[in-house]
Amino acid sequence: MRSLIDITDFSPEELQELMDTACDIIANPEKYQDSCRRKKLATLFFEPSTRTRLSFEAAMLELGGNVLGFSEASSSSVSKGESMADTSKILSCYADIMAIRHPKEGAPYVAACNASIPVINAGDGGHCHPTQTMADMLTIYRECGRIEHLTVGCCGDLKYGRTVHSLLSALTRYEGIKVILISPKELQLPEYMKQDVLDKNHVDYVEITSLEEALPQLDVLYMTRIQRERFDDATVYERLKDSYILTPEKLESAKETMRILHPLPRVNEISVKVDDDPRAAYFRQALNGKYMRMALILKLLREAEAGLQMPREDTLDNVLYCDNPNCISSVEQELPHRFRPTNPATGEYRCIYCETKKHKKN
Ligand code: CP
């Protein structure tokens, strides 16, 4: 069954097709109002959410379908110890498609391996958030008129920021993308993202700590929240939480055509005084998320009816062990530790759930 776990599961052509469908939905909503009649979307949210869960539900309702699900882990049998594999098999009996948010990295992948319906990753720990990227892409496309040849600044928590990881994975496949990574040293982009995404795609990028230095160069500023819930040490969070605060005064040096995106929720990293600036696109971005999720539900249900499958990967099972405490393999007792080869020359492997790097000696 074809699912969406990582944004690169879709080619740039497929993302364009989704953006075209979303634009057609915006122009002709009545054309789609019965497209999912008698279909059910299950939303399994093991972590808090406002936008993702409710925009998925609004998307399915506007397509004429129905929704079921839960919004916290404590109201599901996972709190009694049920595995992700069993949960996804059960949900396959009740729904036609499911969206999962989970604090453990790789949980939606495990669900997709066990479900007989399409699974959508609605955010897994600090790993990735592909449907947020779809909202970001449509926003860039509608606001800037193109995806190519843009200078994009990502600012804030680039270490744990799953929205940034997914966005960079998508954008770096387009021509002429320049990236400015703006973060405190402690929250820099993970090495695997730099190696596997930026270096591999020959992307022109720099890492800096000053937002003011980057602002005049940017076509898109992607602000993110410093995420309290991802820190083991509260004192580090307290020290870093006010690293970046965008104000109207700072924006004076930015281009008039620049667009400000933020996956939201925000805490204080964008002053509310910026909201009335025409460059502030973050509320329009949240609305775009609903249209892209409508387009995604239509695509995955259509492909499920056509019998399309997820490609199988060659993996090494239970030879290397993942020691990332945020990986789904750290909590699911019988889940195999699975690694994909990423660099045969050096014996480098990555955990299939969370991307943790390991080396295998021959
Ligand atoms: N952008 C985003 O994922 O928001 P929620 O956490 O409210 O779903």
- Angstrom distances, CA of residue 254 to CA of 216, 217, 261, 275: 4, 7, 14, 15
Tens-place pLDDT, residues 228-271: 877 888 898 899 898 999 999 999 999 999 999 999 999 999 99
Atom 5 in ligand 1: residue holding the nearest Cα: 49
Residue 192 has pLDDT above 80, yes or no: yes
CATH topology of domain 132-286: Rossmann fold (3.40.50)
CA–CA gap between residue 213 and residue 250 (Å, rounded): 10
First to last CA, the chain: 35
Atom 1 in ligand 1: residue holding the nearest Cα: 263
Among the CATH numbers 3.40.640.10, 3.30.390.10, 3.30.300.30, 3.40.50.1370, which is that of 7-129+287-305?
3.40.50.1370
CA–CA gap between residue 154 and residue 168 (Å, rounded): 9
Task: Specify whether the CB–CB gap between 215 and 151 falls below 8 A.
Answer: no
Range(s) within the chain of domains with CATH label 2.30.30: 316-359
Give the distance (Å) from ligand 1 centre to CA of residue 48: 8
Tens-place pLDDT, residues 14-51: 999 999 999 999 999 999 999 999 999 999 999 999 99
Give the distance (Å) from ligand 1 centre to CA of residue 50: 6
Give the distance (Å) from ligand 1 centre to CA of residue 300: 21
Atom 3 in ligand 1: residue holding the nearest Cα: 52
Q: Name which of 348, 276, 294, 245 is nearest 134 in CA terms.
A: 294
Q: What is the reported pTM?
A: 0.94
Share of the chain above pLDDT 90, in %: 86
Give the distance (Å) from ligand 1 centre to CA of residue 222: 15
Q: What is the pLDDT of residue 229?
A: 79
CA–CA gap between residue 354 and residue 246 (Å, rounded): 32
Q: What is the pLDDT of residue 233?
A: 85
CA–CA gap between residue 131 and residue 99 (Å, rounded): 10
Range(s) within the chain of domains with CATH label 3.40.50.1370: 7-129+287-305, 132-286
Q: What is the pLDDT of residue 246?
A: 98
Atom 6 in ligand 1: residue holding the nearest Cα: 49
Residue ranges of the alpha helices (H) in 228-338? Answer: 234-240, 248-251, 282-305
Give the distance (Å) from ligand 1 centre to CA of residue 360: 37
Task: Specify whether the CB–CB gap between 170 and 133 falls below 8 A.
Answer: yes
Q: Which CATH class is domain 316-359?
A: mainly beta
Tens-place pLDDT, residues 220-230: 999 999 988 77
Pocket of ligand 1 (CB under 6 A): 49-52, 123, 132, 263-265
- Mutation choice for ligand 1 from 50, 282, 288, CB with most ligand atoms inside 8 A: 50
